[in-house]
């Protein structure tokens, strides 16, 4: 059984960013937050409002003095970095990390560094794998909550492997319903000379049929179009 | 050749959020931003600082009074929604939309609604496809910039891939051609009382618009339908 990864914020500076990270986590079903030496202590009054309702994540957050303690029970530590650091470790995308976390039997954590400075070399040394978001090389400016949301989002994709939330779209109408509609239109167009000259008539009919088959209208939609056609034959209201 | 999608913010409220959206876009290489009726006008002094350097996106942003004008040149409009709205349109994930945009020959736009309210029903009626982020059903709380970044991020993943050889199919007509056809039909139906009673008129118009947006008719096909409508108004040949 795969387990949800733990999100570890290392030396986060602003309570607001901790709250936003919690919100990003819960949006995609992650709930376990660990904080290493938050600059302004913990709890932090700015975190709650920024969490926008993800209070459970903040309430259950655990605080540690050092990163080593925070990841003591973790078997696979991933560290996020924006830039290459010349670190000799595997570098993966958030999607690749999500896949690996999903199939792993062990406990994973994803580390995010301080807002300005990121993770330092000693912190990176604790990780087995580096996650780097493939970003615009000319403008890489991800904030903390954005980095968290991209990782959480990718992880959530593997959770259900379900297709998108499904809105039931009515199936296309059976052919005979469509034929009825097309016949009605042809009968209206015929006396107006639409199919003249005669030798083009078949091609014109085929072209209209193709155009009206393309939508894949449902039974209800076909009936609506027939109602429109019927209306068009009425006399104007006086 | 696929083209970068246009990001359209509809009735955005806070300049700060416009700036954050611009930052999210540029992080993943998107640069074309359109604003529809921003609440506090444009330019907005709060946008710059929040863009964190993505000034070029803000400087090039175009402002429109109406959504119809903002998407007039677009052939495939995607609308983002958080909740189901009972809309009968295809619903896709950001990843699926990104894939479709990548292989399309035409010009796409992704709409994002106002911070509190999202897109309204008339705005959704303009779109051919709905994008919904598969989110925690018990805590869906994406802010504007987060919704933008997830779509931009997914789109950027396809950028580096080579497209397969392309089958030429006529692209859907730009929105303004479609609007012209719909206006023509409405003008014909109006005097026949199709939109009565008055209090159902808006819903009926929206329903017809949805039905006629669904086919993705090409410019040629839209013109054919207009020809059919014009013919129907003629007197019968004697």
Is some CB atom of chain B closer than 8 A to the CB atom of A41?
no
Residue A163: predicted pLDDT: 45
**Among A112, A141, A188, CA closest to B152:** A141
Is some CB atom of chain B closer than 8 A to the CB atom of A160?
yes
- Tell me the mean pLDDT in the region B17-39: 96
pLDDT of A176 strictly over 90? no
Structure tokens at B135: 């989110």
Distance CA(A234)–CA(A216), nearest Å, equals: 27
Q: What is the pLDDT of residues A130-141, one digit of tens each?
A: 999 989 888 888
Over pLDDT 70: what percentage of chain B? Answer: 93
- Tell me the mean pLDDT in the region A206-223: 88
Are the C-beta atoms of residues B131 and B97 closer than 8 Å to each other?
Answer: yes
pLDDT of B27 strictly over 90? yes
- Tell me the mean pLDDT in the region A14-43: 96
Structure tokens at A21: 């990270």
Are the C-beta atoms of residues A151 and B62 closer than 8 Å to each other?
Answer: no
Q: How far away is chain B from the Cα of A66, in angstroms, using its nearest Cα?
A: 30
**Among B112, B118, B119, CA closest to B21:** B112
Using CA atoms of B53, A114, B133, A154 in order, give the dihedral in degrees to the nearest 10.
Answer: 120
- Tell me the mean pLDDT in the region A207-235: 90
On chain A, the residues whose CB falls within 8 A of the CB of B201 are: none
Instruction: Name the DSSP letter for residue A113.
Output: -
**Among B176, B189, B79, CA closest to B131:** B79
**Among A120, A112, A96, CA closest to A20:** A112
Q: What is the pLDDT of residues A46-64, one digit of tens each?
A: 999 999 999 999 999 999 9
Residue B19: predicted pLDDT: 97
Are the C-beta atoms of residues A63 and A38 closer than 8 Å to each other?
Answer: yes
- Tell me the mean pLDDT in the region A19-27: 96
- Tell me the mean pLDDT in the region B103-132: 91
Please count the other Cβ atoms lying within 10 Å of the Cβ belonging to residue A159: 16
Mean pLDDT highest for which of A71-75, A88-92, A162-166? A71-75
The full DSSP string for B160-216 is: TSPPPPPP--PPBPPHHHHHHHHHHHHHHHGGGTTT-SGGGHHHHHHHHHHHHHTT-
Q: What is the pLDDT of residues A78-109, one digit of tens each?
A: 999 876 666 677 889 999 999 999 888 778 99
Q: What is the pLDDT of residues B123-149, one digit of tens each?
A: 998 899 999 999 998 888 889 999 999
Distance CA(A152)–CA(A142), nearest Å, equals: 15
pLDDT of B210 strictly over 50? yes
Residue A1: predicted pLDDT: 47
On chain B, the residues whose CB falls within 8 A of the CB of A26 are: 136, 139, 141
Lowest mean pLDDT among B69-73, B88-92, B226-230: B88-92
ipTM: 0.75
- B/e letters for B181-211, b = 16+ CB within 10 Å, e = fewer, are bbeebeebbeebebbeeeeeeeebbebbbbb
Residue B160: predicted pLDDT: 67
Residue B83: predicted pLDDT: 67
- Tell me the mean pLDDT in the region A30-37: 97
Using CA atoms of A137, A141, A145, A150 in order, give the dihedral in degrees to the nearest 10.
Answer: -10
* Global model pTM greater than 0.90: no
Structure tokens at A3: 């387990």
Q: How far away is chain A from the Cα of B164, in angstroms, using its nearest Cα?
A: 23
Distance CA(A179)–CA(A214), nearest Å, equals: 13
Question: Mean pLDDT, chain A, as a whole number?
Answer: 89
Distance CA(B31)–CA(B59), nearest Å, equals: 10
Which of B91, B153, B193 lies at the smallest CB-CB distance from A165? B91
């Amino acid at each position: 059984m795969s387990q949800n990864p733990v999100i570890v914020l290392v030396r986060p500076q602003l309570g607001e960013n901790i709250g936003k990270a919690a919100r990003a986590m819960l949006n995609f079903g992650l709930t376990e937050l660990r904080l290493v030496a938050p600059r302004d202590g913990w709890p932090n009054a700015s975190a709650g409002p920024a969490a926008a309702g993800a209070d459970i994540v903040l309430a259950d957050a655990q605080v540690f003095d050092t990163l080593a303690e925070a990841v003591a029970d973790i078997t696979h530590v991933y560290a996020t970095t924006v830039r290459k650091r010349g670190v000799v470790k595997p570098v993966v995308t958030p999607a690749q990390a999500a896949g690996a976390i999903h199939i792993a039997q062990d406990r994973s954590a994803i580390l995010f560094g301080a807002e300005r400075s990121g993770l330092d070399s000693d912190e990176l040394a604790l990780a087995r794998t580096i996650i780097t978001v493939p970003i615009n090389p000319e403008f890489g400016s991800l904030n903390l909550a954005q980095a968290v949301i991209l990782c959480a989002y990718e992880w959530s994709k593997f959770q259900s492997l379900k297709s998108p939330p499904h809105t039931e779209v009515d199936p296309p109408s059976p052919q005979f319903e469509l034929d009825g509609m097309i016949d009605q239109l042809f009968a209206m167009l015929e006396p107006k000379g639409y199919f003249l000259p005669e030798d083009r008539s078949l091609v014109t009919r085929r072209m209209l049929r193709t155009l009206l088959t393309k939508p894949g209208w449902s039974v209800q939609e076909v009936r609506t179009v027939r109602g429109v056609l019927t209306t068009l034959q009425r006399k104007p209201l006086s």
